[in-house]
Amino acid sequence: MKSVDYIIVGFGLAAVAFCELLERNGKSFVVIDDDKNYSSKVSGGLYNPVILKRFTLSWNAEQQLALALPMYKRLEQKLGVTIDHSLAVMRKFTSIEDQNNWLVASDAPNLQVYMDDQLVKNDNAAVIAPFGFGRVKHTGKIDTQALLFHYKAYLDKKDTFITAPFKYEHLDSSRLHYEDIKANKIVFTEGFGMHQNPWFANKALKGNKGELLLIEAPDLKLDFVIKSNVFIIPVGDNQYTVGATYDWQDKTLSPTVAGKEKLLRALGGLINCNYKVVEHRVGMRPTVADRRPLVGTHPLHPQMAVLNGLGTRGVMIGPTVAEQLYMHLEEGQAIPPEIDFRRFYRI
């Protein structure tokens, strides 16, 4: 029987962040995943500290960026691939009043470092933005697909990745024996798949279906992200990601005609050049009722932990909550109450 410090179940942004902590601290581990992560693989990958609907700073944004960006830089060096692409995020204005609201917000002490107080004129004939843009600073895009692909290859070479569905009935929860593996602790990072987990299934994990389009538009010539009622993110080779929809009811992983039409209508209000749809993607975001992650240990099985519920800002939130879980499991530090899984649990 193989002995490891940790079994990690699931493989997305949360798992990568936690594995990095384990490796940096000399802990042995194995990852088990069926290669069907439908959230991280279709993520837009943006890191943006400002909530642009309300012109407010996102939850713990400064702390999260301070941990996340150095981690992604280390991953680039380790994997030999570029995953962090610095991109300005431009919030499209819809009126003079919208411009004024931006200027007022950009003067707030906590937002000055992130919101440029100089309005940006639109000079791109292919973009419909007569009132111009507001520029968000310290933003960019993590290529989540490249990150997961190369990190999985890295773990494969170390023989620490098992591509297979996790069979809950094969886990002895008292001794943490799983098939031919014995572990000291197990961490579930399953995303929306957590609703099938017999130890951590919880109605607080709602799941939010999102659909994206990949388009090709040679005449668009964008080198920044546009955020309006949808976003447009350049991904290279005249291609752009357009998204996303939000559906709390549909729990299927099938692209819908209604989702595609909604995105195309929004796109029609943003650009006026020719384009073609290359791909229609769908994912299930692991969102939580109170919009905070699910992190911590099971009340009856402290050797079993969960790291989930990163929602729409996983590239920013993941490294911070992974560190909080690691410090809890290894150093006994308390999980912050606002993210503690037990806030929803009843024995």
Domain boundaries, the chain: 2-44+145-205+289-344, 208-285
**Contact in structure between 151 and 145 (CB atoms under 8 Å):** no
Residue 271 forms beta bridges with which residues?
127
Torsion angle (degrees, nearest 10) of CA 134, 216, 44, 57: 0
Residue 37: other Cβ atoms inside 10 A: 24
Residue 29 to residues 6, 197, 269, 318, Cα–Cα distance (Å): 5, 20, 49, 19
Output the pTM of the full model.
Answer: 0.93
Residue-level pLDDT at 38: 60
Q: What CATH number labels 208-285?
A: 3.30.9.10
The DSSP symbol for 332 reads: -
Q: Which residues contact 342 (CB under 8 A, 6 or more apart)?
A: 296, 299
Residue-level pLDDT at 202: 84
Reading the chain (347 residues) residue by residue, the pLDDT tens digits are 899 999 999 999 999 999 999 999 999 999 999 987 667 656 789 999 999 988 999 999 999 999 999 999 999 999 999 999 999 999 999 999 999 999 999 999 999 999 999 999 999 999 999 999 999 999 999 999 999 999 999 999 999 999 999 999 999 998 999 999 999 999 999 999 999 999 998 888 888 899 999 999 999 999 999 999 999 999 999 999 998 899 989 988 899 999 999 999 999 999 999 999 999 999 888 889 899 999 999 989 999 999 999 988 899 999 999 999 999 999 999 999 999 999 987 64
CA dist 171 and 122 (Å) reads 57
CA dist 273 and 158 (Å) reads 47
Residue 34 to residues 6, 48, 159, 168, 171, Cα–Cα distance (Å): 18, 30, 16, 13, 16
**Backbone angle region of 311, left / alpha / beta, with phi > 0 → left and psi within -120 to 50 → alpha:** left
Q: What CATH number labels 2-44+145-205+289-344?
A: 3.50.50.60
Residue-level pLDDT at 40: 63
How do strand 177-178 and strand 50-51 relate by DSSP bridges? unpaired
Token digits of residue 221: 């010539």
For 31, half-sphere exposure in the C-beta direction (CA atoms, 13 angstrom radius) is 31
Residue-level pLDDT at 206: 87
Torsion angle (degrees, nearest 10) of CA 65, 69, 71, 77: 180
Residue-level pLDDT at 1: 86
Q: Is 171 helix (H, G, I), strand (E, B) or coil?
A: strand
Q: Is 83 helix (H, G, I), strand (E, B) or coil?
A: coil
Residue-level pLDDT at 347: 46
The DSSP symbol for 270 reads: T
